Amino acid sequence: ILNVEQSPQSLHVQEGDSTNFTCSFPSSNFYALHWYRWETAKSPEALFVMTLNGDEKKKGRISATLNTKEGYSYLYIKGSQPEDSATYLCAFTYGGSQGNLIFGKGTKLSVKP
Amino acid sequence: DVKVTQSSRYLVKRTGEKVFLECVQDMDHENMFWYRQDPGLGLRLIYFSYDVKMKEKGDIPEGYSVSREKKERFSLILESASTNQTSMYLCASSWVGTGVGSPLHFGNGTRLTVT
């Protein structure tokens, strides 16, 4: 059974702290790795989709890296703000079809002012 | 911006009822998805559609069916609702153009309670 693991499960940081989370996935038959941010009462919003080993993507204070050979991706948030509070989901695509997208359980981030 | 609209935010149904959850997207996306979210579990795929009238079963299709008669609309049907189908249901769509590199665009979700 293919599995996507995210750690930590939850994280509490102070405003201004930098933080990072991990997503681990099977390294075989890799096609893409997605990161989403899901704020309470809103819909999940795509942050990044990465397909190549060594990919690095950045959007404002948030960045992500990808290592497909060892099966992990890191999401970094620099200088966390209260509005960054959300659940961060990663998802792994295998087998070349978006029907084969497996989500992790998410990392819930709370940023205290 | 892509908009994915789910017809109801909250729904309460009785055991045994036939339930329809509707989803409409406005960006001409080929792919549409239905997921359910339960506490302590990741999003789990119920059904996936890659074109009109085309569908694939996801990880947990039992007790559900789907309909895609028009490209913009993807309906999830609970043939006979049961209490274990109480959950948050999320619809999503994506563009085929960049293949598996296309991000999913999600609706706001429907929280279904079956009593």
pLDDT band at B2 (very low <50, low <70, confident <90, very high): low
Lowest mean pLDDT, pick from A39-48, A60-69, A94-103, B55-64: A94-103
Extract the tokens encoding B93. 């769509």
Checking if the pLDDT of A96 tops 90, the result is: no
Summarised one tens digit per residue, pLDDT across range B85-103 is 999 999 999 988 777 788 9
DSSP annotation of B79: S
Extract the tokens encoding B85. 């189908």
The answer to whether the CB of A38 falls within 8 A of the CB of A45 is yes
Specify the DSSP element, H or E, that contains B75.
strand B73-78
Instruction: Tally the residues of chain B.
Output: 115
User: Residue A95: what pLDDT?
Assistant: 77
Of B41, B100, B105, the CB nearest to A31: B100
Mean pLDDT over all residues of chain B?
Answer: 94
The residues, ordered by sequence, that sit 6+ positions from A101 with a Cβ below 8 Å of its Cβ are: A34, A91, A92, A93, B45, B104
Counting residues of chain A whose pLDDT is more than 70, the rounded percentage is 99
What string of DSSP letters covers A35-95?
A: EEEE-TTS--EEEEEE-STT-EEEETTEEEEEETTTTEEEEEESS--GGG-EEEEEEEEET
The answer to whether the CB of B55 falls within 8 A of the CB of B66 is yes
pLDDT band at A112 (very low <50, low <70, confident <90, very high): very high
Of B31, B50, B108, the CB nearest to A43: B108
Asked if B109 and A43 come within 8 Å (Cβ–Cβ), the reply is yes
Summarised one tens digit per residue, pLDDT across range A12-58 is 999 999 999 999 999 888 899 999 999 999 999 999 999 999 999 99
How far apart CA B42 and CA A81 sit, in angstroms, is 25
Tell me the one-letter amino acid at B14: R
Of B48, B101, B109, the CB nearest to A32: B101
Checking if the pLDDT of B56 tops 90, the result is: yes
Closest of B13, B77, B85, B104 to residue A99, by C-alpha: B104
How far apart CA A32 and CA A46 sit, in angstroms, is 13
B28 phi-psi bin (left φ>0, alpha ψ -120 to 50, beta other): left
The answer to whether the CB of A13 falls within 8 A of the CB of A109 is yes
Q: Is the CB of residue B24 less than 8 Å away from at least one CB of chain A? A: no
Looking at residues B104-114, what average pLDDT do you find?
A: 97
Counting residues of chain B whose pLDDT is more than 70, the rounded percentage is 97
User: Residue B70: what pLDDT?
Assistant: 97
User: Residue B19: what pLDDT?
Assistant: 97
Closest of B26, B78, B28, B74 to residue B54, by C-alpha: B74
The answer to whether the CB of B26 falls within 8 A of the CB of B72 is yes
Q: Is the CB of residue B109 less than 8 Å away from at least one CB of chain A? A: yes
User: Residue B82: what pLDDT?
Assistant: 98
